[in-house]
Amino acid sequence: MLSLIIRFGLISGVIVVTPMFILWSRVKADDPHPPGGMLITYLTMLVALTVVFFGVKQYRDRIRGGVVKFLPALGVGLAISCVASAMYAASWEIVTAMNHFDFVAWWSNQIIEQGKAAGKSAADTAAEVKAFADMYGNPWMRVPLVFMEMFPVGVLVSLISAGVLRNSRILPARAS
């Protein structure tokens, strides 16, 4: 079972990090806008995490003999999502180190723009920027934060996969 989790987690991780490396490798230090956006990022995560469904199905069909209960299926899905999310977080660290993109400065500018639009005082906005910079500068805070960008999507996909695949009549295993 562990090999199944690692195999499908790595496949999902490769699917999500490949576009990250391609898009972020094109960012220049003087370019104020990172490529893509949140929509593209989360769509890529969703596509990558469809692998969870196939991992849970293979667990049901090959390891559990075609029948699986909800909680074991959910556990396998969450474990696959965990591996993929860890790859995503590690890749973010590598990408930001490789291209020298100052994410803190870029995001701080976003906070300032949002603060101006909301009519916040300069002092409140400055405090928010400082709090973000302090938090994001600590890798013990940053890595779990980046991990949690992807993992909730994996939880959702795992819940759906476990709910659907607990019914052995849905996509039954082929007789060999």
Residue 104: predicted pLDDT:
81
User: What Rg, from alpha-carbon coordinates, does the chain have?
Assistant: 20
Structural domain contains residue 172: no
Higher pLDDT, 123 or 59: 59
Q: Which domain holds residue 117?
A: 2-27+36-165
Contact 147, 88 (CB under 8 A): yes
Instruction: Please give the tally of structural domains in the chain.
Output: 1
Q: How confident is the model at residue 6 (pLDDT cuts 50, 70, 90)?
A: very high
Which stretch of DSSP H or E encloses residue 115?
helix 103-118
Q: How confident is the model at residue 135 (pLDDT cuts 50, 70, 90)?
A: confident
Structural domain contains residue 170: no
Residue 36: predicted pLDDT:
61
Structural domain contains residue 157: yes
Structural domain contains residue 176: no
Residue 103 has pLDDT above 70, yes or no: yes
Residue 132 has pLDDT above 90, yes or no: no
Considering the entire predicted model, what is its pTM?
A: 0.84
Residue 30 has pLDDT above 60, yes or no: no
State how far the alpha carbon of 71 is from the alpha carbons of 3, 44, 56, 98, 137, in Å. 19, 26, 11, 40, 37
Higher pLDDT, 108 or 56: 56
Q: How confident is the model at residue 48 (pLDDT cuts 50, 70, 90)?
A: very high
Structural domain contains residue 174: no
Residue 34 has pLDDT above 60, yes or no: no
Residue 32 has pLDDT above 70, yes or no: no
- Identify the sign of the CA torsion 121, 125, 130, 135: positive
Phi, psi of 68 (to 5 degrees): -145, 145
Whole-angstrom distance, CA of residue 88 vs CA of residue 83: 9
Which stretch of DSSP H or E encloses residue 69?
none
Structural domain contains residue 53: yes
If DSSP codes are grouped into helix, strand and coil, which group holds residue 157? helix
Residue 81: predicted pLDDT:
97
Structural domain contains residue 45: yes
Whole-angstrom distance, CA of residue 98 vs CA of residue 15: 20
